[in-house]
């Protein structure tokens, strides 16, 4: 074969390789264009572009620097009522919020009465000038680690214009999930991943391109749904005047008239009233354990705690707030060789029964009220759970340790409520009735606290320590008395 023929063959081979590469590249491009992820991204951008225009346009939304809202809202206490199941209790509360988006400043004030609690508090997130205010307690505390995104998130999630600004900034993380029909309208569904919290599914009406519905899954409580109603234009920006929130399909919150302003100064809302007493900043609420007596451990963090009591051949766990599995793991570092025999649930509220699933996974017998059986079994999920019911009183005894469980209900907070009493140690464990802060002076008693104190007096218990499901602090009878005698203590709601 001549050299010329070899060169011709080599040229042909190269041409064939190039053509094949081009063909493969074209096929790859076609495949990429047809891929579901790319379709989801491209379609999301189309929907987002239309939605931006429908909410006032990119220029108006980019120019939204501050936002102020105030409203009265009706709360339906889904999973938080006096009794388990419907009908849910109702109450009216007030909310105010102001946001400076450029400087990441947030102010919120909430007041009202619900579930045996009376509250009037405010939060200011402003860098080093961040504070937690309690108007009933007449105190103000610096916030050591202010978190703008976590504090402002609830307001952002109920305000379409603020959600649209988030979507504009974070659209690169969004996907189109599809289209659905609901209540006679068709919607494009697009995801939004905010700085904190579960991803949001946003429903944009295909006719007017406005955000009318939104969903997210919030373990362990289930699905939360948002409805944005009756839009109005405020300085060229579309805002909804009415709002509803649903939890697992049940209406939880209704606002019929939202008063809103945009691009107004919020500096007046940053002032701290001079009549409030400054107290130290709350310490970090880190997870950990505290052996408050020999073999008696208060374990938890982030506002959720349980009491673990060592018996002769087993352990009794008291409290069912979220994080029981983590608390059990911590317990094993102290008591590795004794099984947990009983898990005591204080009451039926949705934040006090998630631990049922963790107890069931451990084969623990769960102690609760017969009236709570349905919600407790539901909280166990796919796990089979063994229940033991208590009516007014139950004694758990082994060796030289005794635990007395008392039903102190009805209280202003709940129909049936278990407290645990360790008579030899003088310890009481309670939930939701002795809301002691992690530090600082005791706040004024709320109706639930007054009901709690009345029940303790009736039982004539001899105790010197009180611990609870929501605080790492070990309280005393003097602390309870300070709440009851506070000038701002509520006089309503005693048994």
What secondary structure letter does DSSP report for 383?
S
pLDDT at 5: 37
- Output the tens digit of pLDDT for each of the chain's 495 residues: 434 333 333 333 333 343 344 343 444 444 455 687 888 899 999 999 999 999 999 999 999 999 999 999 999 999 999 999 999 999 999 999 999 999 999 999 999 999 999 999 999 999 999 999 999 999 999 999 999 999 999 999 999 999 999 999 999 999 999 999 998 999 999 999 999 989 999 999 999 999 999 999 988 778 999 999 999 999 999 999 999 999 999 999 999 999 999 999 999 999 999 999 999 998 888 999 999 999 999 999 999 999 999 999 999 999 999 999 999 999 999 999 999 999 999 999 999 999 999 999 999 999 999 999 999 999 999 999 999 999 999 999 999 999 999 999 999 999 999 999 999 999 999 999 999 999 899 999 999 999 999 999 999 999 999 999 999 999 999 999 999 999 999 754 333
Pairing verdict, β 465-468 and 401-407: unpaired
Query: First vs last Cα of the chain: how many Å apart?
Result: 110
With respect to CATH, is domain 288-485 assigned 3.60.15.10? yes
From 123, 120, 122, 119, select the one nearest 146 (Cα to Cα): 123
Q: Where are the domains of the chain?
A: 55-175+229-278, 288-485
CA distance 297 to 292: 6
pLDDT at 221: 79
The answer to whether 213 and 228 have CB atoms below 8 angstroms apart is yes
C-alpha distance from residue 239 to each of 178, 193, 246, 382 (Å): 25, 21, 20, 42
Helix/strand/coil for 113: strand
Number of H helices, E strands in the chain: 10, 28
Helix/strand/coil for 179: strand
From 298, 340, 417, 469, select the one nearest 405 (Cα to Cα): 417
What secondary structure letter does DSSP report for 281?
P
Q: Could you count the other beta carbons within 10 Å of the beta carbon of residue 93?
A: 16
From 93, 94, 100, select the one nearest 70 (Cα to Cα): 94
Buried residues in 192-206 as b, exposed as e (16+ CB within 10 A): bebeeeeebbbbbbe
What lies within 8 Å, CB to CB, of 113 at 6+ separation is 91, 93, 119, 447
The answer to whether 422 and 331 have CB atoms below 8 angstroms apart is no
pLDDT at 33: 53
- Helix, strand, coil percentages (3-state) for the chain, rounded to 5, are 25, 35, 35
CATH C-level class of 55-175+229-278: mainly beta
From 208, 206, 205, 207, select the one nearest 227 (Cα to Cα): 205
pLDDT at 219: 80
From 129, 135, 74, 75, select the one nearest 107 (Cα to Cα): 129
pLDDT at 34: 67
Q: Does the model's pTM come out above 0.75?
A: yes
């Amino acid at each position: 074969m001549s050299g010329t023929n070899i060169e011709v063959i080599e040229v042909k081979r190269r041409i064939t390789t190039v053509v094949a590469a081009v063909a493969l590249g074209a096929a790859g491009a076609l495949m990429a264009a047809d891929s579901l992820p790319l379709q989801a991204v491209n379609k999301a951008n189309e929907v987002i572009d239309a939605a931006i225009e429908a909410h006032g346009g990119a220029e108006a939304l980019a120019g939204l620097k501050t936002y102020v809202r105030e409203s009265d809202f009706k709360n339906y206490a889904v999973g938080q009522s006096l009794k388990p199941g419907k009908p849910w209790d109702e109450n009216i509360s007030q909310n105010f919020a102001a946001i400076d988006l450029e400087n990441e400043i947030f102010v919120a004030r909430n007041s009202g009465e619900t579930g045996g609690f009376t509250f009037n508090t405010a939060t200011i997130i402003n860098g080093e000038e961040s504070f937690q205010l309690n108007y009933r307690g007449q105190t103000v505390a610096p916030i050591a680690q202010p978190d703008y995104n976590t504090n402002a998130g609830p307001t952002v999630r109920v305000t379409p214009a603020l959600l649209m600004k988030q979507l504009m900034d974070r659209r690169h993380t969004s996907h189109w999930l599809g289209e659905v029909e609901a209540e006679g309208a068709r919607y494009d569904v697009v995801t939004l991943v905010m700085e904190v919290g579960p991803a949001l599914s946003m429903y944009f009406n295909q006719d007017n391109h406005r955000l009318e519905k939104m969903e997210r899954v919030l373990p362990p409580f289930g699905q939360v749904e948002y409805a944005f109603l009756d839009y109005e234009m405020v300085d060229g920006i579309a805002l909804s005047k009415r709002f509803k929130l649903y939890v697992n399909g049940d209406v939880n919150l209704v606002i019929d008239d939202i008063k809103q302003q945009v691009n107004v100064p919020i500096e007046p809302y940053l002032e701290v009233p001079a009549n409030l007493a400054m107290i130290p900043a709350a310490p970090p609420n880190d997870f950990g354990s505290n052996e408050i007596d020999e073999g008696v451990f208060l374990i938890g963090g982030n506002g959720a705690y349980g009491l673990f009591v060592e018996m002769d051949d087993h352990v009794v766990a008291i409290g069912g707030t979220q994080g029981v599995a983590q608390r059990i793991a911590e317990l094993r570092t102290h008591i590795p060789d004794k099984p947990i025999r009983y898990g005591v649930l204080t009451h039926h509220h949705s934040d006090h029964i998630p631990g049922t699933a963790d107890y069931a996974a451990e084969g623990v017998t769960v102690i609760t009220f017969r009236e709570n059986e349905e919600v407790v079994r539901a909280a166990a999920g796919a796990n089979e759970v063994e229940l033991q019911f208590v009516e007014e009183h139950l004694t758990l005894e082994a060796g030289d340790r005794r635990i007395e469980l008392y039903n102190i209900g009805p209280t202003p907070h709940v129909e049936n409520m278990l407290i645990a009493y360790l008579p030899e140690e003088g310890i009481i464990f309670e939930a939701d009735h002795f809301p002691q802060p992690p530090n600082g002076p005791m706040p004024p008693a709320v109706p639930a606290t007054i009901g709690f104190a009345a029940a303790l007096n009736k039982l004539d218990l001899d105790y010197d320590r009180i611990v609870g499901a929501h605080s790492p602090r070990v309280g005393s009878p003097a602390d309870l008395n300070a709440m009851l005698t506070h000038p701002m203590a509520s006089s309503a709601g005693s048994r």
